[in-house]
Amino acid sequence: MIELQHLSKRYGGGSKQAPVQALDDLCLSVPEGSLYGLLGPNGAGKTTALRILCTLLAPDTGSVSVAGVDGLSDPRAIRRLLGYVAQEVAIDKILAGRELLALRGDLYHLGAADRHRRLVELIDLLGMDAWIDRRCGTYSGGMRRRLDLAAGLLHRPRLLVLDEPTVGLDIESRAAIWQVLQQLRDQGTTILLSSHYLEEVDALADRLAILEAGRVIAEGTPEALKDALGGDRVTLRVREFSDAAEAARVQDLLQGCEGVRQVVVNRSQGYSLNLVVQGGDVIERLRRQLTEAALPVFALAQSRPSLDDVYLQATGRTLMDAELSVAGLRDPKVERKQSMR
Amino acid sequence: MTSATPSLGPVRAVSEGPSPGPSAFAEIRQETLALTRRLFVQLARRPSTLVAGILQPLIWLVLFGALFANAPAGLLPGGGSYGRFLGAGVIVFTAFSAALNAGLPLMFDREFGFLNRLLVAPLRSRSSIVLASVLYITSLSLVQSLAIMVTAALLGYGWPGATGLLVVLVTLLLLVFAVTALSLGLAFALPGHIELIAVIFVANLPLLFASTALAPISFMPAWLGWLAALNPLTFAIEPIRAAYGGTFDLANVVLNAPYGDVTAATCLGILAALAVGLFLAIRPLLDRKLT
């Protein structure tokens, strides 16, 4: 359905700021009818990729194709095919939700009767009946998101593109949006959504791509990606706050243990130990070994590998660490300017 | 049922791209009307722009009219009252101020990301966005000017005849088009609304004072007379003043400029050239920003 080939995009490079390579030879292929997740920390290039797909931004190099239509030579055909729910909620505060939807319907050239029918359907689908005739300025974040989603769906697009659709939302709105997305996918709409919530992508997406520094570093179904890592994750703390020497001792002790494939000392978590284990009774063996060495066990937790482990494996850091490392570096003012026409 | 039903295959969607004339016109009309309606709904719910746009020139009219009410007879060319002289200036000033604000809604749409939403839609022509702004601001400035004309008439400053009214209308339209083009260009060229408001603020009053709105050229020092005689506002004010004066003829001289006499036809021609020229000048900018 979507083919993004070798997309590159560089921002800035003016006198004031250093250029930013937002996309670096990004390739992505989204199968028709799937719910596809783009996962990555802030600044990985998710929004840039989606803006290029939606014809809002021209790539420096590369090609965009949706359902066989070349996006660079026929952007209008692409716009007809897709609905876009952007990250920044841009609504007209003075219009009522219904008026805003009607306006969007006109911009998609819906006939009056069809427009009316779609409004009724979508207001019902997204549970907006109680407030749709109030002015948008009075809406909560969740209401705005739902209205935005409805606007993106008005023309029955074959492809729905959502940029961080649930960021900052209350649980109820989030659940409502998830449900609608799943329903749409089941009815055959292809959905591409970006997120930096691991659990959102894990729960929703049929397939996903992990983005890092403007390129795809892992791609596949969530299950396949996690299975490829192999083994379970175990977090072990012998005490609430251990020290380097003790951690090293435990590491040596467990490294030889049968079924333990890897032991890493996590300094930032009070010298806890992260283990990759395989096999049925590894946990029992670990406990026995620790008891024999007269070591206490403060906490021992076993889990299946998560998408965060996939990210960790590919980049050498957790998604959280990646978020924190860019947190202070991005300038919202500059980014707003970049998105401004 | 229109274009984008789920059953629509990609092939059909492509072939729909350059579809024939009448449907293109209908689509442009639909999107332009929808965008224009939005601006009017905003105005109806926040009428302060409209009210302020009438109130400000009204205050000019009353205060300046009173200030120079006792000006010695014979001061003004043609010898009419100052109020009658001032009327044409304030009418033009009203339309000019309103049109100068044309870019503001567009600038806010740029800043708040709403323009991007419009651009994601498969608009038949993105000129619809510009066209909607022009339609809106033209109607708004004409309504405001009309309110001033009625007030001026009630104050005893006269009313143009049928032909005169037509002259007033055409002149104002040409001026509004020119200034709207300028303002829309600025709305895309400047980085934000603060800068746009600053430009509007700075441009507004000097252009008024350096025109023949408040005093005739014969009254001005030579340098200011030159400025006024080159100021586009003057080319709008003088035909309207002549229209208020009674018998109007396009061939009549309406302005005694330092560089020579200017007829009403020349004034209107200059305004028309200015409007066309400015739209041509901002076109590359609009093309760049809207594609």
Question: In CATH, what number is assigned to the domain containing residue A59?
Answer: 3.40.50.300
Q: Give me the interface pTM, i.e. the ipTM.
A: 0.83
| Confidence tier at A16 by pLDDT (50, 70, 90) | low
Q: What is the mean pLDDT of residues A61-90?
A: 91
Give the pLDDT confidence score for residue B5 in this predicted structure.
Answer: 36
How far is Cα B268 from Cα B160, in angstroms, rounded to an integer? 17
Please state, in angstroms and rounded to a whole number, the distance separating the CA atoms of residues B189 and B289: 9
**pLDDT (0 to 100) of residue A258:** 84
Residue A197 confidence (pLDDT) above 90: no
Residue A137 DSSP one-character state: G
CATH number of the domain at A238, please.
Answer: 3.30.70.100
Per-residue pLDDT for B13 more than 70?
no
In a domain, A309, yes or no: no
Q: What is the DSSP letter of A316?
A: S
Q: Which of A192, A237, A255, A225 minimizes the C-alpha distance to A34?
A: A192
* Mean pLDDT computed over B30-44: 96
- Of B86, B58, B44, B128, nearest to B219 by C-alpha is B86
Nearest-by-CA chain B residue for A188: B6
Q: Do A77 and B289 touch (CB under 8 A)?
A: no
Considering the domain architecture, whether residues A167 and A73 belong to the same structural domain is answered as yes
Residues of B within 8 A of A84 (CB-CB) are 120
Better-scored residue on pLDDT, A281 or B257: B257
Interface contact flag, A158 B124, Cβ < 8 Å? no
Query: CB distance from A229 to chain B under 8 Å?
Result: no
User: With 0-12 CB in 10 A as exposed, 13-18 as middle and 19+ as buried, what is A151?
Assistant: buried
- On chain B, the residues whose CB falls within 8 A of the CB of A151 are 117
Mean pLDDT on B235-257: 92
| B39 token code pair | 């601006």
Q: What pLDDT shows up at residue A163?
A: 93
d(CA B221, CA B217): 8
Residues of A in contact with B12 (CB under 8 A): none
Residue of B10 and A25 predicted with greater confidence? A25
Cα–Cα distance, A264 to A276 (Å, whole number): 9
C-alpha torsion sign, points B11, A187, A105, A30: negative
Q: Are residues A266 and A131 in the same domain?
A: no
**CA A96 to CA A138: how far, in whole Å?**
9
Flag whether residue A110 sits within 8 Å of chain B, measured between CB atoms: yes
| Geometric angle at alpha carbon B223, from B217 and B228, rounded to 5° | 45
Q: Which positions in chain B have a beta carbon within 8 angstroms of at least one beta carbon in chain A?
A: 1-6, 8, 10-11, 13-14, 16-17, 27, 30-31, 33-35, 37-38, 41-42, 45-46, 110-124, 188, 191, 289-290
| Percent of chain B whose predicted confidence (pLDDT) is above 70 | 91
For residue B287, give how far its alpha carbon lies from the nearest alpha carbon of chain A (Å): 11
Residue A314 domain flag: no
| Number of domains comprising chain A | 2
- Are B197 and B221 in contact, with CB atoms under 8 Å apart? no
- pLDDT of res. A297: 87
Residue B207: C-alpha distances to residues A34, B94, B227, B267 (Å): 60, 12, 9, 17
From the CB of residue A42, how many other CB atoms can be counted at a distance below 10 Å?
A: 16
Closest Cα in chain A, distance from residue B286 (Å): 10
**Site from A108, A136, A338 to mutate, B interface, most B CB atoms within 10 angstroms:** A108
- Whether residue A157 lies within 8 A of chain B, CB to CB, comes out as yes
Give residue-wise pLDDT tens across range B119-139.
999 999 989 999 999 999 999
- Residue B156's pLDDT band (boundaries 50, 70, 90)? confident
Q: Which residues of A touch B45 (CB under 8 A)?
A: 94, 135
Q: What is the reported pLDDT for B17? A: 44
Query: Which amino acid, one-letter code, is at B232?
Result: P
A95 in contact with chain B, both atoms CB, cutoff 8 A: yes
Beta strands in A154-279 (DSSP E): 159-163, 190-195, 207-212, 215-220, 232-237, 260-266, 272-277
| Selection from A120, A95, A116 nearest residue A105 by Cα | A116
For residue B73, the model assigns a pLDDT of: 67
Q: Is the pLDDT of residue B55 over 70?
A: yes
Distance from CA of A219 to the nearest CA of B (A): 26
A215 and A266 assigned to the same domain: no
Percent residues over pLDDT 70 in chain A: 97
A217 and A235 share a domain? Answer: no
Q: Which residues contact A321 (CB under 8 A, 6 or more apart)?
A: none
- 3-state secondary structure (DSSP) of residue A24: strand
Nearest to B203 by CA among B82, B103, B79: B103
B53/chain A closest Cα distance in angstroms? 20
Average pLDDT over residues B46-58: 91
Which one of A170-174, B16-20, B185-189 scores highest in mean pLDDT?
Answer: B185-189
Cα–Cα distance measured from residue B165 to residue B210, given in angstroms and rounded to the nearest whole number: 25
Average pLDDT in the B276-290 region? 92
Task: Say what the pLDDT of residue A15 is.
Answer: 65
Give the up-direction half-sphere exposure of residue A149: CA atoms within 13 A in the CB hemisphere: 30
Which pLDDT does position A14 carry in this prediction? Answer: 67
What is the tens place of the pLDDT at every residue in B78-111?
777 888 899 999 999 999 999 999 999 999 999 9
Among B113, B115, B122, select the one facing A79 at the smallest CB separation.
B122
CA distances (Å), origin B220, targets A144, B63, B205, B214, B227: 57, 21, 17, 11, 10
Helix, strand or coil, per DSSP, at residue A74: coil
The pLDDT of residue B141 is: 93
pLDDT at A273 exceeding the cut of 70: yes
* Percent of chain A topping pLDDT 90: 52
The predicted structure's pLDDT at residue B11: 33
Pair A143, A274 in one domain: no
Least confident of A6-20, A32-46, B8-22, B274-288: B8-22
Chain A residues in contact with B289 by the CB 8 A cut-off are 341
Same domain, A142 and A116: yes
Is A36 contained in some domain? Answer: yes
Whether residues A150 and A263 fall in one domain: no
Closest chain A C-alpha to B204 CA, distance in angstroms: 26
pLDDT of residue B291: 75
- Minimum mean pLDDT among B65-74, B223-232, B251-260: which range? B65-74
With beta carbons less than 8 A apart as the criterion, state whether B109 and B118 touch.
yes
Q: Is A311 a domain residue? A: no
Q: Of residues A19 and B143, which shows the higher confidence score?
A: B143
Instruction: Kindly list the residues from chain B whose CB atom is less than 8 angstroms away from the CB atom of residue A108.
Output: 3-4, 121-122
Is the domain of A246 the same as that of A181?
no
Q: Residue range A148-165: average pLDDT?
A: 94
Q: What does the pLDDT average to over A289-311?
A: 87
Residue with tokens 């007033």: B168
User: Which range marks the domain in which residue A104 is found?
Assistant: 2-226+321-339
Residue A243 has pLDDT above 90, yes or no: no
Mean pLDDT across the stretch A310-328? Answer: 78
What SS3 state is found at B105? helix
Q: In what order do the strands lie in the sheet with A215-220?
A: A82-85, A159-163, A190-195, A35-39, A207-212, A215-220
Q: What is the C-alpha separation between B270 and B100, in angstroms, rounded?
A: 19
pLDDT tens readout for residues A201-236: 999 999 999 999 999 999 999 999 888 888 888 888
Q: Average model confidence (pLDDT) for chain A?
A: 89
Cβ neighbours of B44 in A, within 8 Å? none
Domain assignment present for A79: yes
Q: Residue A91 contacts by C-beta under 8 Å, 6 or more apart in sequence?
A: A100, A136, A139, A144, A147, A148, B114
A156: DSSP letter? -
For residues B273 and A108, what is the distance between their CA atoms, to the nearest angstrom? 36
Report yes or no on A312 lying in a domain: no
pLDDT of A85 strictly over 70: yes
Q: Looking at the structure, do residues A25 and A172 belong to the same domain, yes or no?
A: yes
Q: Identify whether A315 is part of a domain.
A: no
